[in-house]
A and B are shown apart, each in its own frame.
Chain A
């Protein structure tokens, strides 16, 4: 079964760090470009980051640049540092699996909630 499963969310104090992971089952992870997308409570979707299939190309939204770092090994990771209240959101990993050539996401995880609060 093709599946993405996020983990690592929780409550963290402002200024601290947190690492999210996204594990993959049912397909060859190393062939796919992966993205992180977040959604603040009651708000819309916000693209966060992309990493190429081989990990050589990465990019970030301006709102997280310099604070977040994406990586991959056998899973996808998002290292978040200098966290702010406005980083509070459900974080989804996502990819293009069946449809299109990229930058559209037909495979999503269930999301993991990050709450930044003192």
Chain B
């Protein structure tokens, strides 16, 4: 199972908005709505920020939003803050009853 495709890095200035893409196939993102996004800070376990394509856990800021179109999912972070800096991973359930992660995107706040 190949990893979902994410850009290796993105950057933005405080207050800006940016979007991270996650491209899969018709066997994962394109076929299922179990698409999630995680934020990971150095030395820490990942933290769930989006699940089931668009849903946010109750403790996650509404600055985080997400969507899906075809085989591509997207995470948008608005009003960028320094604490948003870190690594972001998408994941999707796959038709083989497995889970596939994206390669990860390093977000830098300039």
Q: Do A and B bind each other?
A: yes
| Chain A residues with CB below 8 A from B52, complex form | 100-101, 104
| Chain A residues with CB below 8 A from B1, complex form | 61-62
- Verify if A29 is at the interface (C-beta below 8 Å from B): no
Q: Do the beta carbons of B34 and A108 come within 8 Å of each other?
A: no
Q: Do the beta carbons of A99 and B104 come within 8 Å of each other?
A: no
Question: What is the number of residues of chain B that contact chain A, defined by CB distance less than 8 Å?
Answer: 27
Main secondary structure of the interface of A (DSSP, over half): loop
| Chain A residues with CB below 8 A from B34, complex form | 100, 102-104
- The CA-CA distance from A60 to B97 in the complex, in Å, is 9
Contact with A along B35-72 (1 / 0, CB 8 A): 01010100001111001100101100000000000000
Main secondary structure of the interface of B (DSSP, over half): strand
Question: What is the number of residues of chain A that contact chain B, defined by CB distance less than 8 Å?
Answer: 25
Q: Which of B47, B99, B103, B104 contacts A47 (CB 8 A)?
A: B99
- Verify if B77 is at the interface (C-beta below 8 Å from A): no
**Chain B interface residues toward A at CB < 8 A:** 1, 3, 34, 36, 38, 40, 45-48, 51-52, 55, 57-58, 87, 89, 91, 93, 97-104
